[in-house]
Structure 1
Amino acid sequence: MFEDHSGLASALADLLVERLGYRVTACVDSVEDAIRAAHAEPCDVAVVDLELQGVMAYPALDELKRRGIPYVLATGSMLVDIPPHYRAPLVLKPYSATQLETAIREARQSTHSA
């Protein structure tokens, strides 16, 4: 999980674990840490805030793509503002647990069917 707002990161981690049954392997708040986590952490899907501390997280997305890890963009950015190469299931902040769960399912299915 890549999220730079600490309160939202905590709520998101709780949601992922308690409601959706996932295990959070990393929670980072900078692009540099996101790249490291994307390179090394074991995970089935990543939830990514596209802008971390004012820096676009595209290098971390590149690493997730390289490893074949699907991701969900949990962001305030509109789909039209995201380069086509990085598009993925999207939830716009503020989002609900149901929206996030649907996006995660879509991300995982698109990787398995690709």
Structure 2
Amino acid sequence: MRRIDVIGIGIGVFAAGGLLYLVFAWAGLDGLSAGIWSQVVFVAGLLGWTATYVVRAASKKMTYYQQLEDYEEAVLQKRLEEMSPDELAALQAEVEKERLEEAQAGDK
């Protein structure tokens, strides 16, 4: 995110707070109550936004993790494409051998 974007978002949030205050004042609340309720709305919004961030971070649904996963998949795909048929057959035999060993270990 660029610096100008952050400045724009800050100004937008500031303007939204003022507008929310005016809406509460227009609805009949006195200045103090309108200020308190506009703060309540903004704190609730901030807590909700923070909760979504925590959930995304905990479940690894963030952009960084997705990019890392895509990169690792692309690297593995490229390595598979570069392998000769003999190397692929050897790799497949090794994978099958490991699967059988795991299955036998699970049966015990």
Instruction: Judge same fold: TM > 0.5, yes or no.
Output: no
- How does the TM-score come out when normalised to structure 1? 0.24
Larger Rg: 2
Greater RCO between the two (CA within 8 Å, min separation 6)?
A: 1
Bigger helix fraction: 2
